[in-house]
Amino acid sequence: MIKKKQKAIIIHGSGGNPEECWFPWLKQKLEEDGFEAIVPAFPSDEKNQKLENWIKKMKEYSFDDETIIVGHSLGCPFILNLLEQKKFKNVYLVAGFVGLLNNQFDEVIKTFSDKTFDWEKINKNYEKIAIIYSDDDPYVKPEKALELGENLNTLPTLIKNAGHFNSESNYYEFPYLLEQIKRDNTKKPS
């Protein structure tokens, strides 16, 4: 019997795409470690960047409760919306937030994050969750990561001077995230 590869889905942020920052690097590294890694291209122009369009796009991909999912920035509240409906094995939220950011992006993020999330349901739909944030993120203040951690009953991990973990911050590789994914998803002998 052929063993099915564990799936990993990487979700980009607002105005993003699968080829930016650390996404291609992480995809390649995960594939080298035996994962089936996918980085969907979601609508990222202001007119079409809406929760309903991203959910529609996500339906093109198959995943199950053994799938791990990684989100960056707007990808994080998108994942929270998915977690209200579906189970994932492990969840990794980078530069994540809920609510509005009180900046120029509020209009394009509001369908994803300006809502009351069902935290009880979300917290039942994963085995492990990790939040990673930076102290000098120009878009997502550290308080947002701490608020997210409070709602998800986990302590966020601070990486100093990482900006928004994007190309603007020269984040083209993400060894810390890769090591955490590998550590959390390696089967231990019984």
Does the structure show a pLDDT above 70 at 187? no
pLDDT above 80: residue 190:
no
Q: Give 188's pLDDT tier (boundaries 50, 70, 90).
A: low
Q: What's the fold here for domain 19-38+51-57+65-185?
A: Rossmann fold (3.40.50)
- Residue pair 122/83 in contact (Cβ under 8 Å)? The answer is yes
Instruction: Supply the pLDDT for residue 176.
Output: 98
**φ and ψ at residue 86, rounded to 5 degrees:** -135, 155
Q: What is the pLDDT of residue 3?
A: 63
pLDDT at 186: 78
**How many residues would you count in the chain?**
190
What pLDDT was estimated at residue 158?
A: 98
pLDDT tens per residue across span 46-68: 889 999 999 999 999 999 999 99
pLDDT band for position 17 (cuts 50, 70, 90)? very high
d(CA 72, CA 75): 5
For residue 157, the surrounding DSSP H or E stretch is strand 157-159
**Letter for the amino acid at 176?**
Y
Buried b (16+ CB within 10 A) or exposed e, 141-164: beebbebbbeebebebeebeebbb
What's the pLDDT tens digit per position in 93-137? Answer: 999 999 999 999 899 899 999 999 999 999 999 999 999 999 999
Q: How many CB atoms lie within 10 A of CB 20?
A: 18
Cα-Cα end-to-end distance for the chain: 20
Task: Give the chain's mean pLDDT.
Answer: 94
**How is residue 179 written in tokens?**
């090591």
CB atoms within 10 A of CB 5: 12
Q: Tell me which of 104-108, 113-117, 160-164, 169-173 is least confident.
A: 104-108
From residue 125, give the alpha-carbon distance in Å to each of 54, 67, 170. Answer: 20, 12, 33
pLDDT value at residue 45: 86
pLDDT above 80 for 88: yes
The two structure tokens encoding residue 77: 């509240």
pLDDT on residue 161: 97
Distance CA 118, CA 121 (A): 6
Tell whether the model's pLDDT for residue 79 goes beyond 80: yes
Helices (H), the chain: 23-32, 51-58, 75-83, 106-113, 119-122, 142-151, 175-185
**For position 70, what pLDDT does the model report?**
98
